Homo-oligomer: A and B are copies of this chain.
Amino acid sequence: MKTEAEALDMIGDHFRRARLAAGLTQEQVADLAGISRPRYRDVETGAAAARATTLINVARALGLEMMLVPQAMVPAIEALLSPQGEDDRPAFSPQAEGDDE
Q: How many copies does the complex hold?
A: 2
Asked if A100 meets B52 with Cβ closer than 8 Å, knowing A68-B11, A69-B77, the reply is no
**What residues on B are CB-neighbors of A56 within 8 Å?**
4, 7, 92
A94 an interface residue at 8 Å Cβ cutoff?
yes
Name A79's closest neighbour in chain B (CB-CB): B80
Asked if A86 meets B67 with Cβ closer than 8 Å, knowing A4-B57, A53-B4, A99-B34, the reply is no
**What residues on B are CB-neighbors of A73 within 8 Å?**
80-81, 84, 88
Q: A70 to B86: give the CA distance in the assembly, Å.
A: 9
Q: A25 to B88: give the CA distance in the assembly, Å.
A: 35
**What residues on B are CB-neighbors of A74 within 8 Å?**
65, 67
**What residues on B are CB-neighbors of A27 within 8 Å?**
none
Interface residues of A (CB under 8 A from B): 1, 4, 7-8, 11, 14-15, 31-34, 49-57, 59-61, 63-74, 76-77, 80-81, 84, 86-92, 94, 97-101
3 A-B pairs with least C-beta separation:
A34-B100, A60-B97, A68-B91
